[in-house]
Amino acid sequence: MASEPAPISFARGAPSLDIVDVDGLRAAADRAFQNDPAGTTAYGTAIGYRPLRAWIADKHGVAPEQVIVTNGSMQADAFLFEALVEAGDVVVVEKPTYDRTLLSLRSRGADVRPIDLHEDGIDVAGVEALIAAGAKPRLAHIIPNFQNPAGYTLSAAKRRALLALAAANGMTIFEDDPYVELRFSGASLPTMLSLDEAGSVVYASSFSKTVCPGIRVGYLVGPEKLIARIAKLATHTYISPNMVAQSIVNEFVRAEDGAAFDRAVARVKGALQERAQALCAALRRELPEARFVEPEGGYFLWVELPEGTDGDALFAAAAERGVQIVKGTDFLLDGGENAFRLAYSGVTVPQIEEGVARLADAVRSLGVTA
């Protein structure tokens, strides 16, 4: 092996530049300043750029007053947690789950209760058992589609079961859905937001994966009163979110009555599908002992090696070979030593093949497999 192999990163959940529609963004920016110079350049208000808010409301079939557009969906999460979660509140999360959500909830002093994530989503019976044992979860954080880090998708039956549980127990479901548009196989499932009749759901999504991450535009959909409270928090925090960015996104998603946006998303999905398939094929070939579920969309693959694998040693051995992965332990309060997350969104097919070969070499260097 070469002493300084070219770095290959499976670490960051971000798209490679070739699947960002830079020309479409340039054109959208030009139209934003031309079509609405006043709305694009002025302060605006905390609820976001109104034409984009209206587009989002239409998309989800809700009133505009149920939508707030924020500087990325992490900021939306932060506002939501500030509005709903007090120190000591029980919050259900998936096990494993997004590391930044764990950090954010723990820094607020939430009593975080991880519930096992299965191939078809969170173990709803586990949530039920938690409630039966006396816990009163304020919130359940759920990434329903192509979960981060696992890549799994919550089944339709479990979506309905969770909604029933939430309605019966005064629990809010935080449906955190940034990857929903990135389904490249299988049938789409309805959002819990669209199925909700009890007002139990607050929904978050983002344009990071469909437009680009640097545009930092995300949003929340929820009950009107909650959104109004969050708008107050947003006003006190930053007066208004980025109007220039939101006006650009508005032009981007509305171009050609949405046809240009559809083409941009189709291009992203095509590339992701190709990368996911190449990754799974390479893993089957190079690391037959690895267990994983082939994803139907999104950015991530969760890989488990045999029990007893030393994740820290694997991380180091991979890094020595120029390969970045994220340790399974980052997504869990405990456990996950034998697991890791691979993001295939930012790597080309040749990089994937080379990266998995090096990763297999790293695994073999640990003496885990024959």
Q: Pick between residue 44 and residue 311 the one whose CB is nearest to a second copy.
A: 44
Q: Does 169 bind a second copy (CB under 8 A)?
A: no
Please write down the HEC assignment for all residues of the chain.
Answer: CCCCCCCEECCCCCCCHHHCCHHHHHHHHHHHHHHCHHHHHCCCCCCCCHHHHHHHHHHHCCCHHHEEEECCHHHHHHHHHHHHCCCCCEEEEEECCCHHHHHHHHHCCCEEEEEEEECCEECHHHHHHHHHCCCCCCEEEECCCCCCCCCCCCCHHHHHHHHHHHHHHCCEEEEECCCHHHECCCCCCCCHHHHCCCCCEEEEEECCCCCCHHHCCEEEECCHHHHHHHHHHHHHHHCCCCHHHHHHHHHHHHHHHHHHHHHHHHHHHHHHHHHHHHHHHHHHHHCCCCECCCCCECCEEEEECCCCCCHHHHHHHHHHCCEECEEHHHHCCCCCCCEEEEECCCCCHHHHHHHHHHHHHHHHHCCCCC
280 φ, ψ (degrees, to nearest 5): -65, -40
Give the nearest distance from C-beta 73 to a second copy in angstroms: 9
262 φ, ψ (degrees, to nearest 5): -60, -45
Residue whose tokens read 């007053």: 65
Q: Pick between residue 103 and residue 168 the one whose CB is nearest to a second copy.
A: 103
Pick from 242, 273, 309, 329 the residue near a second copy by CB under 8 A. Answer: 242
Q: Are the beta carbons of 165 and 128 closer than 8 angstroms?
A: yes
From the list 42-50, 51-59, 125-133, 362-370, the region that binds a second copy by CB under 8 A is: 42-50
Q: Does 248 bind a second copy (CB under 8 A)?
A: yes
Q: Does 25 bind a second copy (CB under 8 A)?
A: yes
Give the nearest distance from C-beta 225 to a second copy in angstroms: 20
Q: Does 34 bind a second copy (CB under 8 A)?
A: yes
Provide the pairing of β-strand 121-122 with 111-118: antiparallel
- Please name the residues in contact with 355: beta carbons below 8 A apart, sequence gap of 6 or more: 8, 10, 323, 347
Q: Which of positions 106-125 make contact with a second copy (CB under 8 A)?
A: 107
Q: Pick between residue 27 and residue 135 the one whose CB is nearest to a second copy.
A: 27
Pick from 56, 67, 69, 74 the residue near a second copy by CB under 8 A. Answer: 74
Q: Does 38 bind a second copy (CB under 8 A)?
A: yes
Pick from 1, 2, 6, 43 the residue near a second copy by CB under 8 A. Answer: 43
Q: Pick between residue 54 and residue 239 the one whose CB is nearest to a second copy.
A: 239
Q: Pick between residue 240 and residue 338 the one whose CB is nearest to a second copy.
A: 240
Q: Does 26 bind a second copy (CB under 8 A)?
A: yes
Give the nearest distance from C-beta 39 to a second copy in angstroms: 8
Q: Does 264 bind a second copy (CB under 8 A)?
A: no
Task: Give the x-and-dash track for 133-162 against a second copy (CB under 8 A).
Answer: ------------------------------
From the list 112-120, 176-184, 231-239, 263-271, the region that binds a second copy by CB under 8 A is: 231-239
Q: Does 168 bind a second copy (CB under 8 A)?
A: no
Q: Does 72 bind a second copy (CB under 8 A)?
A: yes
Pick from 200, 240, 345, 351 the residue near a second copy by CB under 8 A. Answer: 240
Pick from 54, 103, 266, 319 the residue near a second copy by CB under 8 A. Answer: 103
Binding site for a second copy (CB under 8 A): 12, 14, 17, 20, 22, 25-26, 29-30, 32-34, 37-44, 71-72, 74-75, 78, 100, 103-104, 107, 208, 212-216, 236-245, 247-248
